[in-house]
Chain A
Amino acid sequence: MTFGDHLSDRVKQVPPSGIRRFFELAEEVDDVISLGVGEPDFSAPWAARTAAIDSLERGKTSYTSNRGMRELREAISERVTCYGQEYDPEDEIIVTTGASEAVDLAFRAFVGDGDVVAIPQPSYISYTPGAVFAGGEPLPVPTRAEDEFTLTPEALEAAGADEADVLVLCYPNNPTGAVMTDDELADVASFVREHDLLVLSDEIYAALRYEDDHASIATHPGMRERTIVFNGFSKAYAMTGLRLGYAMGPPEAIDAMNKVHQYAMLSAPTTAQYAALEALRACDDAVEEMRREYDRRRRFVLARFDEMGLDCFEAKGAFYVFPEAPDGDDEAFAEGLLEEQNVALVPGSVFGAGGEGHLRVSYATGMRELREAMDRIETYIAE
């Protein structure tokens, strides 16, 4: 008997990650400048790191409460009021091992066998497998470059999402950098209420918006009770490796997620929770400084693409822009660019329907590399 003969159907159903394949290609190239990285190039703010060190020195190495340290939940509750979100630290917030765990908990808690999970695409690559592992049926909802990759009720309708049970949202978006305004979310909210869906809203990039403030669908009328909001420390605080996120929702939802979490994870990493608490208390300036730096890079990249004639909508969030591949073949362009100019970026098609013909360009890379990468892309296009 081998494990290979006993793969579960759900595991078999999920194909190997396209981004993994590209990673392996990039690893074979020397001196690669990578615009393919989905995490900040900064380190976590020093104050947060020292808080983690302090906690270790004080011997804080035990489990915490399943839902996370009370103080941390209180700090989170206070912080999210800036997005108009109000959640009780007592029973409406759960701290998790990265927002990724929180999303997985929600799939496992709310997606039953055969439940349809509508996933606007192009999207972060974990939602579809997550829905499948939970037994759900992913329903891709393509979004379009013409709409600047925002989600519209028309796109939902066209994809048949009126029959879905759950809708996943991720704005600001990975991979497109798209954001959604309050008005655009209001239209989606009407669709959701009309067709009685639950919403899983991944707002991990909420702090990284460059033209306006973050808007959350959970703050729309009638939406709080049917929405789980995910957020975390990875992107805004450059704490990806500390693995700390959280989910917020009505008590019965958080209870259900906590049930899965307490058996699967017990509690999120304690050291990371101390870092996160300090991040919320003392690192606003550091976050703002990083945001400004991303914004300068964003404008730089958009300006350079414009100069070299690469079509790209003005992405206003996260740290990605999503230009069109010049001849429409994103995979060929990305592979050619890697081989000939040693610049790595990710072909849009790995992010699902609507991503094909586009390229995800991450500007979580220093200005010096960015400048050089843009020159190389320009050379590659010219040739």
Chain B
Amino acid sequence: MDKQSLLDLLRHDARQSVDDIARQLGADADAVAAALDELESEGAVRGYHAVVDWRQVDDEHVRAQVEVDVELDRETGYDEIARRIARFPEVRSLRLVSGTYDFFIEVEGESMHAVSNFVSERIAPIPEVTKTVTHFVMDSYKEEGIELGNGDDDDRLSVSP
């Protein structure tokens, strides 16, 4: 079972039956199930998500990207601060980045108020955090490799040579 091919396929569309995955990889369904188990148990595959276009959903849904500057001291490293931030369920993603700030956080909430409250009451007060800049997401055009505009219609001839 070639794990790279399995990963390619899952990243393309993870919502397929084991049988259909097996057919596409030319593999045995049992072997696919075993490889999936292994990818999950060794932590290479951490989860599966729907890619949602929130404009199509009525619920109010607010997202923000937050830049965070920190000042390290002898006892505290990035990992330690990151762990503290990552545990909050409002934090969708947390990455250490190069450049003019240290952490890049994606935060989700039910309202702008909830998100800004979260940043000011949960992130900013962390002793090592020296500065936060919150960017509210105003619109989204592409998520997880999927464009959110109206899809191109298939305008090919139905039968062609």
Chain A residues with a Cβ under 8 A of chain B? 17, 19, 22-23, 26-27, 32, 34, 36-39, 41, 43, 124-126, 174, 292-293, 296-297, 299-300, 302-304, 344, 346, 367, 371
Contacts and interface: CB of A to CB of B under 8 A. Distances in A.
A41 B152 CA distance: 11
B25 A19 contact: no
A193 to B, nearest CB: 31
B161 A300 contact: no
B25 A36 contact: no
B158 A43 contact: no
Interface of B: 5, 8-9, 12-13, 16, 20, 22-26, 152, 154, 156-161
Nearest to A126: B161
A207 to B, nearest CB: 18
B23 A34 contact: no
Q: Which of A32, A38, A126, A300 has the largest number of chain B CB atoms within 10 A?
A: A300
Contacts of A174: 161
A19 B26 CA distance: 31
B9 A296 contact: yes
Given A299-B23, A303-B23, A19 B152 contact: no
A19 to B, nearest CB: 5
A346 B20 contact: no
Given A34-B159, A125-B161, A303-B22, 11 more contacts: A22-B159, A23-B159, A36-B160, A37-B156, A124-B161, A292-B8, A300-B23, A303-B23, A344-B158, A344-B159, A367-B13
Given A23-B159, A36-B160, A41 B26 contact: no
B26 A299 contact: yes
B154 A32 contact: no
B23 A37 contact: no
